[in-house]
Structures are given as structure tokens and as C-alpha cells.
Amino acid sequence: MIVVIGELNVDMIVSGTDVMPEWNREKLVDSFELALGSSSAITACALAGLGCEVQMISVVGADQFGDYCLEQLRSKGVRTDYIRRDPNVQTGVTVSLSTPKDRGLLTYMGSINAVTPEHIPADLLTQARHVHFGSFYLQDGMRAHWSGIFRFVREHGATTSFDTGWDVRNEWHREQIHALIPDTDLFIPSEDELLRIYDIAALDQVWSLLPDNRQGVAVKRGARGAVWSSGPSEELLAVNAFDIVPVDTTGAGDSFNAGLIYGYLAGKRGEELLLFANACGALATQAIGGVGRVSSVQDVEAFRSARDLR
């Protein structure tokens, strides 16, 4: 069983080639979708699509958007036994302005930062094979507790992973991230996030700054693929992205996370692991919304066979 601890929200996705608002002007866009959002939830759904048993821990409001989040998770095969309904908060909402090349996000926090250690039963963690969380910077109630949780689950034989997300407050918490990495089997930031965390200008400067006792670091580079590092004595591994035209990039990095976790637990390593994760991320861009397309292992393998790398 994989346990995902994290935020839940709905995504309101506005898509088109020009979605940038202008004051006192009205624009027409190509499409609008309501979808399940949040890094943690999208990763959970993508893992379930790959055939994993996934239990999610989260908090939503006792409102229609909370109902929607639960319905969407269940429809994708994610178990929701440990998702709490809180009548005192509204479920979080993110407005995603999405183009074929990139996206911008506007988020109302609501319940997004409501998860705290009291929501996480220790007996569930002892049953986990792997524990993952997303959105380090949005989960305010958990930030001080991840190191203790990761050490606990690793002592009980599970592996761990996390994705930072973007720090909207521009604080970046380098010391906390740095201290958490040695207890993390799969650290999965984007390149832009990693450069901000370590306050550097280029990716090749980061490797000497990361902890020497790190486990695995997979850096997502979007259309430029991904890079893997498993320690200062190991050679860096880089793979290119697949040659595709994205429909919507929402959730691509979270689906990459799922592919990396699934592949790692299945024994994939090196180039095979990164290519599988890249394929999961690429497939997610072929539909609107982070869970608009949830791929099976067979889907991923067929995609890899049919597509070339950039």
C-alpha cells in the first residue's frame, strides 16, 4: 500500500493560446474545465491508475467542492478512509491559466494547509510500503513534522518521496529541505524549484550543495526531460523528454512523480526508471486536467514504444 499525505483542492482550468487577463478587457478562451487538483491528489490518482493500492490522508471542507474531490478520488481507485470533512473551512480552489507551453496558478488556500499530524494514524504508516507527499510549501501544518514521519516509516521498512512545489511566499526553507533529503528515497523537485531552494543560477551548481548522504534525486526539467543523482560518487544520468505536443501541462510533474514511485518500487533503476516516469508525465499532458488522463502500465509501455525522444 502507498500512503499519500497531502492537500486537496479543485482546479478550475482555463485553456487557450492567450489566457493572460487584461484589466478592463474581456477575452475569449478555448475551454474551461473543473478538475481534481493538488499535486498530492494527482500523484495518488496516477499511482492508482498504474495498479497500486493507494490510501490518501487529507482534509476538505463539508461543501460541494469537497464532495467533488472525494468522488473524483474514488472514481480513480484511490481510497479515502482517512480524508476528514471539516465544516469550519472551505475546500481549496486553484484557478489554472493553461497554454500548450505552460501554466499560471491562482490559489485560494481554504483546506489546503489543514492537514496536521493528528490526522495521520501511526498504525496506517506501519502498513505502508511507501509514503509520499506533495506541495511542501503549501502544507503549513506539516512542514515541521516531515522528518519525524519519514524516519518513522523508513524504520518500519517503507520508502519515502516528496515533491516541493512552488513557494508562493518565496521563503524556500532551504535548511528544512536539506535536512529532509537524507531521509527521502526519492526527492522530486522541478529544476526551477531546486535552483530557488539552493539560490543558484544553473543546475550543474547544485550537486555539490546537496547532502552527501542523499538517496535519489530526480529533477524534472519539462520539455528538456529529467536528471537523476543518487550521490556524489555516482555519475549523473540525464534523459530527454518525449517528442509530443501538449494539450494541457497541468499535473504532468505529478504524474512523473507517480511513474518514478511506481518504477522504483517495481525495481526499475537508472535510464529505465527515468524514461518510465517521463512517459507518465508526457501522457498526462494529452488531456485537460491533472487526472484527465490516468494511464495504466500498459498505456505507458505502448506510448514508449510508439514515441521518439526529443
Q: Is 108 helix (H, G, I), strand (E, B) or coil?
A: strand
Task: Count CB neighbours of 169 within 10 A.
Answer: 10
* 148: CB partners within 8 A, 6+ apart: none
Closest CA to 259 of 226, 230, 288, 223: 226
Per-residue pLDDT tens for 241-255?
Answer: 898 888 877 789 999
> Cα(309)–Cα(275) distance, rounded to whole angstroms?
10
Residue 147 φ/ψ, nearest 5 degrees? -60, -45
**Residue 148 — very low, low, confident or very high, per pLDDT cuts 50/70/90?**
very high
DSSP state of 117: G
pTM above 0.75, yes or no: yes
Which residue do the cell numbers 490518501 mark?
Answer: 56
Task: Count CB neighbours of 24 within 10 A.
Answer: 4
Task: Count CB neighbours of 53 within 10 A.
Answer: 13
> Cα(107)–Cα(162) distance, rounded to whole angstroms?
21
Domains of the chain listed by start with CATH number:
2-15+32-306 (3.40.1190.20)
Give the bridge partners for 165, in sequence order.
none
Per-residue pLDDT tens for 57-69?
Answer: 999 999 999 999 9
pLDDT at 248: 76
> Is the CB of residue 36 less than 8 Å from the CB of residue 285?
no
Look at residue 289 and tell me whether its pLDDT is greater than 90: no
